[in-house]
Amino acid sequence: MRWLCLLILLASCGGGSPETPVAAPVSNPQMAFSILAVLPHDSTSFTEGLELHDSTLYESAGNYGESALDAYNVRSGRLVKRIPLAADQFGEGITVLGDRLYQLTYKEHNVFVYHYPDLKLLKTGYWAHQGWGMTNDGTYLITDDSTDKLYFIDPGTLKETKALSVTDVSGPVFELNELEYVDGRIYANRWHTNLIYRIDPQSGRVTGMADLGDLFAQMGLSFHPGDGEDVMNGIAYDPKTKTFIVTGKRWPRAFEVRFN
């Protein structure tokens, strides 16, 4: 009887109280964007790294037996120079720092160091992790390796000086790929998605995210990927126009976009 009274009391207390409000889902801050132009792109290039300097688009192409360091006129798409890599090397991220262009390799642990802008190979260095994306903050090279880590590297010795975990509202962010450092922030593709993240390089926190969706459809174009790897990858910045060039693996077009 005592238990019955207690149940009645609890029921009567709960019946008249308002429902507990359900918290709204938390998401990353969204970055709006606009598409400004459609540009030519080599549809045979398995794009891994992208860098824009003085109207020249430098691209690191991947895949064994197909890897290269290429230089194009960004507007016409005309190939200016091609440096093939050995068949046992898989090209990955690139960046220009001072008079050096650095190119990662995927699993070979090599870093090719070229003189910029003539692209004469100066040396081959060693990097302990897998090579994915690469950029720089004017002092250090910054790379990733498919984990949630960004690595800050001394450009002279190629030694790691710091590792930083990237996190968003859901926790660690894995499989960040191509990188670009712009105005104190790092922009990153996320592999197998159409997402671009903006990251604070001091804390590792994601401060913005843009879902670019199907860029071809948005511009009235059609593109049918050959396989599941023909995904968005490649992000370069033009400081003159304050716009980004984005593309993907084996994409026949690149897109000039501005994040608003």
**Would you say residue 241 has pLDDT above 50?**
yes
| 215-226 average pLDDT score | 94
**Would you say residue 247 has pLDDT above 80?**
yes
Sign of CA dihedral 99, 181, 151, 51: negative
pLDDT tens sequence across 177-219? 999 999 999 999 999 999 999 999 999 999 999 999 999 999 9
**Would you say residue 2 has pLDDT above 70?**
no
DSSP-derived secondary structure letter, 151: E
* pTM over cut 0.95: no
Q: What single letter denotes the amino acid at residue 215? A: L
**Average per-residue pLDDT for the chain:** 92
Burial category of 81 from C-beta neighbours within 10 Å (exposed 0-12, middle 13-18, buried 19 and up): middle
- Residues in Cβ contact with 34 at an 8 Å cutoff, skipping those fewer than 6 apart: 257, 258, 260
- Tokens 């996190």, residue located: 167
| Confidence class for position 226, pLDDT limits 50, 70, 90 | confident
**Would you say residue 147 has pLDDT above 50?**
yes
Burial category of 224 from C-beta neighbours within 10 Å (exposed 0-12, middle 13-18, buried 19 and up): exposed
| Confidence class for position 125, pLDDT limits 50, 70, 90 | very high
Q: Kindly give the residue spans of alpha helices, DSSP state H, lying in the chain.
A: 2-15, 215-218
pLDDT tens sequence across 8-30? 333 444 444 445 554 445 689 99
**Would you say residue 249 has pLDDT above 60?**
yes
d(CA 12, CA 118): 82
pLDDT tens sequence across 48-73? 999 999 899 999 999 999 999 999 99
d(CA 245, CA 58): 11
Rg of the chain over Cα atoms, rounded to whole angstroms, equals: 23
Q: What are the domain boundaries of the chain?
A: 27-259
What DSSP line would sit under 82-110, residue for residue?
EEEPPTT--EEEEEEETTEEEEEESSS-E
Question: What fold, for 27-259?
Answer: Methylamine Dehydrogenase; Chain H (2.130.10)
Q: Are 201 and 151 in contact (CB under 8 A)?
A: no
For the chain, give the percent of residues with pLDDT over 90.
87
Residue 42 half-sphere exposure toward CB, CA atoms < 13 A: 26
> What pLDDT score does 19 carry?
52
Q: Are 112 and 84 in contact (CB under 8 A)?
A: no
**2-41 burial, b if ≥16 CB within 10 A, otherwise e?**
eeeeeeeeeeeeeeeeeeeeeeeeeebeebebeeeeebeb
**Would you say residue 93 has pLDDT above 60?**
yes
**Would you say residue 118 has pLDDT above 70?**
yes
> What pLDDT score does 84 carry?
98
